[in-house]
Structure 1
Amino acid sequence: MVQFRFDPEQGNWTLYEADPNRRWFAWDLVQPSPDLAELLRHVHVSAAGIIVG
């Protein structure tokens, strides 16, 4: 599971990933970006589910 959060003060989107216990963590391999499309390029959907990478 992934989630995108927008910080209006910074004007940036951040990519979050849930662990098996559904706790959310910012994905630290991708820097926050004002361009949501930039973060979407790191999310891949497959038959097995959503993969961040």
Structure 2
Amino acid sequence: MAKPFPEVRVDLYALDDGRIYFGEMTFTSLGGFMNFYTPEYLLLMGEKCDISNC
């Protein structure tokens, strides 16, 4: 699931009966709460990620 993306967290849940469920895909570090980066820096870094052909 994560292979085509430069950064993503995939949440999977394993049940006691062996079934695995997909939860979500998160495309930002720390759930988007990166208050130590300026908005300008985040835009600059985002421009370096090309996911248009994923």
> Greater strand share, 1 or 2?
1
The bucket for the TM-score relative to the shorter chain is: 0.3 to 0.5
TM-score (norm. length: structure 2): 0.37
Q: Which has the larger radius of gyration?
A: 2
